[in-house]
A = this chain, B = another copy of it.
Amino acid sequence: MRFEDLTSPEIGALDRDKTVLLLPIGSVEQHGNHMPLGTDTMLAEGLCLAAAEQLAPNILVLPSPWYGYSPHHMRFPGSITLRPDTLRALVADIVGSLVRHGFRRIVIVNGHGGNANLVGVMATSLGEDYYGKARIAGLTYFHLAAAEIAQLRKSEKGGTGHACEFETAMMQHLRPGLVRLDRAASIYPETGTPYLSTDLVEGSRVSTYLDFADLSPTGTFGDPSLASPEQGERFFAACTDVLVRFLEDFARWPVAGGSKI
């Protein structure tokens, strides 16, 4: 299920029309006092693997390049950011290599809010580059599953932002040893304007640069105190399910130019 674990002839034997390749991207950046820097990438990858398990055999998960676009976290130690052009070049080279090998269905599965607009740009521009040869899609998993997350959450608005009820619970489920819940601090950040939301299940209507250190002393946006492993299991199952259903649909999208879509 992991692309990097296969041999070249095993890759060569895959059905080019049916195989869906998932590229998880995330970030290495602060996740409050209680969660690891790699949270976003771990979750994106974890969901991809869980979805791939359900959809085997015509699906593979590529190794994640780990790093993302995180300038708004740089005032917190350990945060690493790529420039937007670097991330675009990186994904473009990976996708381009896959298309050279004849793959036709590639999904960028993003787990970091800061990457979301770039994922939109990349899916569109790579889709144009390989129009008629490959179908490229991009998604941010918690936007895809926003409705399901909203139903499951316990916190009020502002509780699921960053290193929050949602992400903490997800990690308690996926990588429990890396969560130090005793160190968690809850904060419902105030932007002072209805136009900017800090909640990840609810987009902002306007884009601006939000430096996390201006809104939260620990970098947390939301309420990790409401997280639990059981809640994490529910969130994870819901997100996996949403992703699986999308991938089943995506596997039927036409690739060739001239077709619908």
Contacts and interface: CB of A to CB of B under 8 A. Distances in A.
Interface stretch (A33-41, A152-160, A226-234): A33-41
A151 interface: no
Contacts of A54: none
B8 A191 contact: no
Interface in A204-224: 205-211, 214-215, 219
A114 B128 CA distance: 12
A191 B78 contact: no
| Interface size class of chain A, counting residues whose CB lies under 8 Å from the partner chain | 35 or more
Nearest to A193: B249
A260 B123 CA distance: 33
A43 B206 CA distance: 18
Nearest to A254: B192
Given A11-B37, A36-B4, A195 B246 contact: yes
A80 B91 CA distance: 11
A210 B121 contact: no
Contacts of A117: 117-118, 120-121, 124
A5 B38 contact: yes
SS class, residues of chain A in contact with chain B: mixed
Interface in A174-217: 178, 180, 183, 190-196, 203, 205-211, 214-215
Nearest to A138: B207
Nearest to A74: B100
B28 A260 contact: no
Nearest to A143: B205
Contact of A121 (B84, B219, B261): B84
A30 to B, nearest CB: 4
Contacts of A38: 2-5, 63
A27 to B, nearest CB: 10
